Amino acid sequence: MGPPPLTIPLVTPPPHIPPQAPQSPPAMGLLSDPHCRRALARLIVRLNTPLCVLSYVLGLGWFLALAFPPLAPRTYMSENAMGSTMVEEQFSLGERALALARDFATHKKKAGGMPTAWLEKTMWSLGLEVHQQQFSHTLPFPDESRERYLVRGTNVYGILRAPRAASTEALVLSTGCAPGPHNNQAVGLLLALAAYFRGQIYWAKDIIFLINEHDLLGMEAWLEAYHDVNITAVRSSGPLGRAGAIQAAISLELSSDVVTSFDVAVEGLNGQLPNLDLLNLFNAFCQKNGLLCTIQGKLQRSDWDSLPAYARSLQTLLLMVLAQASGRPRGEHGLFLRYRIEALTLRGINSFRQYKYDLSTVGKTLEGMFRKLNNLLERLHQSYFFYLLPSLSRFVSIGVYMPAFGFLILVLILRALDLWMKLNRTDPGSSEQLSDSNHGPSTTEAPRLLALVPPVLVCHAAGLALYYLPVLGQSVATQHFPVSEAEAVVLTLIAIYVAGMALPHSTHRVLGGPGSAAAARGWMVLKLLALLYLAAQLTALALLNFSLGFLLAVTMVPAAAATAPTGPRVLLALVLVLATPAVTLLLGIFLERELVEAPAAPGEAWQRFLGALGQGLLLHHLHGAFLYPLLALGTYPCWLLLWNVLFWD
């Protein structure tokens, strides 16, 4: 029999399914429905105040929770080249460091300042390539401490050329020549380390040993000359001897023969921070050599689960926020960060603690750090650049602390949405009024935007006057009042600041007409503009300096949200005055003194407040700090807009 015949089954084609349009997410579908949009608008308007209060409380609560261990994990080393501290430090020139410190103090006293000739001779004898830099800088007004207009100084530095590389990369160890006995031991230790490093053959990077004069001014002059830029109009002499591209820098401050602990400063100019790995490296070698190390002057506790440990962590966190918000470098390392150079300042503390450490132990710690930095194959980049520190062994990353700021900014957004919906309502039969008062108009007439131009121009003109006039008008003030130049600048600044509150802000009545609907709704448009302006400013600022943006948001957001010409005007005026940036600075001074357990009396706090104003001006004109122009040209005009809203008739 043959094979059975092959049968082919009939395949029924699938039914035709017409293509469906892609479905939008449920939220988009709700927003596309006009009834849902209207219901959402009514909900936001009705619950606006409770939502704003809830958002503000959540922002403060989130920030206070940052000191808890779940939100502040332990630090760890991200850079593979520095992952282990298995380095055998052999520095034993502590006695030589003390002898060099005594010689330096003697020659400094004899020269009445920087003993340039002795430093050059000593560095040459150690086998370094020695250079000096003379610089001068004219101050915009005399500083309060020394009453000087023109600053002249000299920087001396020696370069240890790497025997195993082609001078393409470098490290810096620096210290300052200060008047009196301050920092003599730091100079002695720096020279002793140079002598020890000169005898080693494993260096793959040049090492620069820098002794600068006049603190930040000398460091700024050296950095600008080294990188061949002129940011602050400092004048220096001749070309500098250069090494490789600087990878990292350590600034040392030491004024005693023994130390009980080291305090590390990380905050730089405009609140910049070094890579977290550099701080972790210092902490690791301190633990290895048994050195006590602190941050913000606070020693971390081991019992992290206790309430006292949380209080200590919160104190340290708040001190760092205040220091970063000031924008002032907490050490000479702060100017290196502008040039993408990771740097720290290490301060030796000699307190009443029982355990003391000599310069040999300190030298071993610095030797280990430089040997680890010598192993770097590239710049530090794998760890965090944006962080907060409740202690040296724990950190809070940017992804954890930014929600606290986001909740505060949400208050401004909710208030702006509330005003926007009230201004764009088209239902004339609704019982809700366009004004917060019971007799406010409910018309939908568009506000005359021309009425908003004069207040905006006047507020920003006041900001320009606050920025330029204190320095430009100091000579006129000294001629008519018995004050010094520095006092004239600060008092002029305060006078312009207060005068801005007394400017006539009623030009809208001339343009809009008394009692017109456009004038009645004009304050809502002006407040909407001020809220969006403030939200944009604070958001951009928080990305550069979180601490400054957060502190301004904590004080200004409640006042900005509550300001209206229809409420209790005296109470709202008091709240708005307390929210001004100047009062925020004064309150920050009181808080800082409380946190360091040295409370300030009102008179002392006022003197510190005046000094902070003068130092802020000098820091901007000498080093390019952006805090003063930001407050004068941005935050202060925005606050004046809110002041206009409050007194809108």
| pLDDT at 436 (0 to 100) | 43
Task: Report the percentage of the chain scoring pLDDT > 70.
Answer: 86
Mean pLDDT for the chain overall: 84
Instruction: Report yes or no: 359 and 97 within 8 Å, Cβ to Cβ.
Output: yes
pLDDT in tens, 10-60: 555 555 555 555 555 555 555 667 777 777 777 777 888 899 999 999 999
Query: What is the pLDDT confidence band of residue 511, given thresholds at 50, 70 and 90?
Result: very low
Q: What is the pLDDT of residue 504?
A: 54
Indicate the pLDDT class of residue 448, thresholds 50, 70 and 90. low
Q: Write the pLDDT tens digit of every residue in 567-587.
A: 788 899 999 999 999 999 999
Q: Give the pLDDT confidence score for residue 32 in this predicted structure.
A: 67
> Over 90: is that where the pLDDT of 155 sits?
yes
**Please, which pLDDT band fits residue 432 given cuts at 50, 70 and 90?**
very low
Tell me the pLDDT tens digit for each residue of 468-501: 988 887 777 777 777 777 788 888 889 899 888 8
User: 461 exposed, middle or buried (CB, 10 Å; 0-12, 13-18, 19+)?
Assistant: middle
Least confident of 173-187, 200-214, 497-511, 556-570: 497-511
- Mean pLDDT on 443-447: 44
More confident residue, 527 or 146: 527
Span 238-261, average pLDDT = 88
Residue 323 has pLDDT above 80, yes or no: yes
Measured in Å, how far apart are the chain's first and last C-alpha atoms? 111
Q: What is the pLDDT of residue 319?
A: 95
C-alpha pair distances (Å), 549 with each of 89, 254, 402, 545, 556: 43, 34, 11, 6, 10
d(CA 265, CA 279): 9
